Chain A
Amino acid sequence: MSTAAAGAVGRLAGRLAEIVGERNVLADPAELSTYECDGLTGYRVRPALVVLPATTEEVAAVVQAARAAGAPIVPRGAGTGLSGGALPVEGSVVVALSRMKRILEVDLENGWMRVEPGVINLDVSKAIGGRGFYYAPDPSSQSVCTIGGNVAENSGGAHCLKYGFTVHHVRGARVVLADGSVVDLGGPVLDAPGYDLLGVVVGSEGLLGIVTEVVLRILRRPEATRTFFATFPSTDEAGAAVSAIIASGIVPAAIEMMDRLAIAAAKAATGLDWPDVGAALLMDADGPASEVELTSENAIELARKAGAIEIRRPRDEAERQLMWKGRKSAFAAVGRISPNYFVQDGVIPRSEIARVLREIDDLAAKAGLRVANVFHAGDGNLHPLVLYDEAIPGQEKAAEELGGDILRLCVRYGGSITGEHGVGSDKAPYMAVMFSPDDLETMGLVRCAFDPELALNPGKVFPTPRLCGDRPGPFRPHPEEAAGKIWRE
């Protein structure tokens, strides 16, 4: 860093300290290193500063100060994202929302609560669980990830097959925009007149604003949950079972698939006595007891017909939790069978699961690598884990290329390059595989409306930065309004 640049950073740090207090501005290289990356640890960039505001007003003032200093702004939640969405850029100010973790309001009768972005996902359900309510989106990282990050990424989870994603469970948000102004989008009451900007902000990966309050939709817990675990000779039969279950009209709360390698990894990590088989399904049915008894038994019957080897039903809640622990630990467990791995997040039409998995196998064989598959089968959201050893020259690069080939394969089958992890910096280059230049330009126009100078979270989502050009002329009011013939309240 040049002396002049260091001076500018020092002045900005001073200004930020006036806003949030000195202890909430981090400038020390050792402290900054924590913020060099998120859950995607392969890319690292040290930000110029990290600031930890505690209120909407502080966030707004921080944004204004950073903009005045010409520093790009990178919002950050818990940093658990897997797509490099919170990756800093050179000279940036990371705005970390971890101090904003209050639950502000709970309204059970009307089914909503207002929380700050730093509240941990699971803590939302914990706060209302005693009264029989919960917050539905359940990303696997839910014990550490925060609501603000969930909003930025439109996080899913195993149970979004039935319940939808974060966007279906957010009713309103207070947002600090790129110019430091504050707007409220939506709220506890449904259908506020106007464009659904809230729906655009959710999943915008920190490019459109910084969310400082969120109104969440909360649900009554379902009366009953039935779970079963089914093993299959291969992913072909397991895929056929998933298709048959969905085609029968059953909407499972979750239906997850693991292939041989993923099962082996989960066993190694948890000590579960799962057999060595080609594939396994884990399914939850939830809802009224009268319904789940029926749908669960029907689904088991369909799984058998599709070629299931063995069906296991948990004897009690503890055993059920253990089964889910096996599934949820599968990602990290892969670390036990491979020194390194990349996680992918492609989506395919659910009916193509078996074919796509075989194509992935072929691609892996050609690349001389192994791929473990553990994924949300009900909605076709694959999580291929590409295993490699960075100590072997060329293997990391080969793994990266294989990951890219898998994403292209998903798009070729009519799917998506990301189902829940977000595009971030990791998959930005693949956006052009999925979308045409006009598609991307149209999204870019929306970004320009929110942030004409592209100061918020640069380098994410869009493959090539595109300048916004001139701002369109000022809004021309209705001539009758201008003439005073009509008015607005």
Chain B
Amino acid sequence: MSTSPYRAPGPDDAVLGKMPGAVAEPASIEEAAAVVGETSRDGKSLLFVGGGTDLEVGGVPESLGVLLSTRRLDRVVEHAPSDQIAVVEAGVSLASLAKVLASHGQRLALDPPLPERATVGGVIAANAFGPRRARYGTARDLLIGVTLVRADGRLARGGGKVVKNVAGFDMPRLMAGSLGTLGLVATATFRLHPLPEASATLSAAGLAPGTLRALLGRIRDAQLEPDSVVAFRAGEGRFDLAVRFEGFRPSVAAQRDRLARLCAESSLGVEALDEAAARAVWARHDAARRAGTVRVKVAALPSALESVERGAFAPLSDALGDGASVWYPTLGLGFAGGSLRDPASVAAAVAALGAARRTLTEGGGSLVLLAAPEAVRAAVDPWGGTPSALGLMRAVKLRLDPGRRLAPGRFVGGI
């Protein structure tokens, strides 16, 4: 007989300064459904939490009746290596899933920072990603099925267990990036990929935005297929580029050498890194993604790097201390972070965020606040402008969560 899933909240359970009324740690999907069903009957608000790595994303919850932790939903339900799929409960961490999959030479190609803590449920909710997005996409692209606990506590499935499937609406995609405002993703079915036989990372230091873009154009024209392309901001108007190839050994070596030649032809210094140095580069990426207490995600066209540098990276770097910025040149996405130098610098940070957001929005992009102290939050909407489809988004929310109890106030437009 299982014990009660509830426990008293402790100081570590606060979300953006808000204490939950109770904490539930269900040990099964059924128990999770029962908890959600109870909150529905009692009219209590709910917040789902996994590893807590992205809890600062979004607005402060308007109310926080029950915090439902997926910590004990930690089973890999099924791994079918020959079908390259895995069914996983929400609370499984990326690192522990990776261990299970690696035993059959496979992986889930999602690589956001902090894999030891980040859970699959949280990664889906935040649509979190890392460098491999360049080749494999995000949770949206790799998630082929979900079991949801709906706001009313009922279980519903969407998608399936086969990669190719167009039966019914794509509920998995709707859940990806919805920040737990539409339901609890209790189990997720993912498409997997083979672990590569070999990997090679090259790095070129101190490139100006124009040089970087030109090099990317040459990589594309040479029909190379890198698995990751990341540019680290290394000072005013300068970027250190890291490119990784993965796959079969001869092909990785051939592409590595080809890129080295391309750089040499353009008189760019490039270094093929040994294993330790490559590890350090990708660790630098993860560290940069988590740098500082004020963190944002920026989105623009890849060709807009000069304006992103001038209008977003530079002012944010000036306004914040100990900062770091990374840019994914093939995607047009980036992250910038840093810390307030002193309480008096709040105004400067808010001004820089506002200016950066204007620059990005004018180019058809966006700036989303991923983390910030309360003083900054009070002055900056985490999501920015009103999407053209906000009315439709609210309608979807209210159909699936009519009582507006799931993470109220956390999502875009106050959803």
> A420: CB under 8 A from chain B?
yes
Contacts of B163 in A (CB 8 A): 379-380
User: Is B398 a contact of A472 with CB atoms below 8 Å?
Assistant: yes
Contacts of A440 in B (CB 8 A): 168
Q: Which of A381, A414, A442 contacts B158 (CB 8 A)?
A: A442
Closest to A244 in B: B82
> A183: CB under 8 A from chain B?
yes
User: Is A110 a contact of B166 with CB atoms below 8 Å?
Assistant: no
User: Is A489 a contact of B173 with CB atoms below 8 Å?
Assistant: no
> A43: CB under 8 A from chain B?
no
> A159: CB under 8 A from chain B?
no
Instruction: Tell me the complex Cα distance, A441–B81, Å.
Output: 32
> B388: CB under 8 A from chain A?
yes
Contacts of A197 in B (CB 8 A): 174, 389, 392-393, 396
Contacts of B387 in A (CB 8 A): 192-194
- A interface, over-half SS: loop
Instruction: Tell me the complex Cα distance, A164–B109, Å.
Output: 15
> B386: CB under 8 A from chain A?
yes
> B341: CB under 8 A from chain A?
no
User: Is A290 a contact of B412 with CB atoms below 8 Å?
Assistant: no
> A28: CB under 8 A from chain B?
no
Contacts of B168 in A (CB 8 A): 423, 431, 434-435, 439-440, 443, 461
Query: Contacts A288-B251, A436-B157 known; A184 to B389 CB distance under 8 Å?
Result: yes
Closest to A416 in B: B165
User: Is A446 a contact of B364 with CB atoms below 8 Å?
Assistant: no
Instruction: Tell me the complex Cα distance, A381–B160, Å.
Output: 13
Which A residues, 247 to 295, have Cβ-Cβ distances below 8 Å to chain B?
247, 249, 251, 287-291, 294-295
Contacts of B315 in A (CB 8 A): none
Query: Contacts A185-B389, A449-B398 known; A246 to B250 CB distance under 8 Å?
Result: no
> B289: CB under 8 A from chain A?
no
User: Is A247 a contact of B389 with CB atoms below 8 Å?
Assistant: no
> B280: CB under 8 A from chain A?
no
Which A residues, 130 to 189, have Cβ-Cβ distances below 8 Å to chain B?
132, 153-154, 156, 160, 164-165, 167-168, 177, 181, 183-185, 187-189
Give the distance to chain B from A456, nearest Cβ to Cβ, in Å.
Answer: 13
Give the distance to chain A from B356, nearest Cβ to Cβ, in Å.
Answer: 13
User: Is B383 a contact of A193 with CB atoms below 8 Å?
Assistant: yes
Q: Which of A111, A249, A442 contacts B150 (CB 8 A)?
A: A442
> A235: CB under 8 A from chain B?
no
Q: Which of A193, A380, A473 contacts B164 (CB 8 A)?
A: A380
Closest to B330 in A: A111
Instruction: Tell me the complex Cα distance, A209–B299, Å.
Output: 27
Instruction: Tell me the complex Cα distance, A415–B150, Å.
Output: 24
Closest to A112 in B: B301
Q: Which of A196, A350, A431, A476 contacts B82 (CB 8 A)?
A: A350
Contacts of B171 in A (CB 8 A): 200, 442-443, 446
> B4: CB under 8 A from chain A?
no
Contacts of A488 in B (CB 8 A): 381, 385-386, 413-414
Q: Which of B164, B225, B300 contacts A381 (CB 8 A)?
A: B164
Instruction: Tell me the complex Cα distance, A197–B82, Å.
Output: 32
Taking A107-B301, A249-B197, A441-B156 as known contacts, 9 extra A-B pairs with beta carbons closer than 8 A to each other, sorted by chain A number, are A156-B164, A189-B299, A194-B412, A291-B254, A351-B80, A380-B163, A416-B167, A419-B164, A435-B157
Chain A residues near B (Cβ < 8 Å): 107, 109-111, 132, 153-154, 156, 160, 164-165, 167-168, 177, 181, 183-185, 187-197, 199-200, 202-204, 208, 220-223, 243, 246-247, 249, 251, 287-291, 294-295, 347-351, 376, 379-381, 414-423, 427, 431, 434-436, 438-443, 445-450, 461, 472-473, 475-479, 481, 486-489
A-B contact pairs, 12 of them (CB 8 A): A154-B166, A168-B141, A192-B299, A194-B387, A194-B389, A220-B221, A349-B161, A350-B82, A351-B83, A376-B164, A419-B164, A436-B156
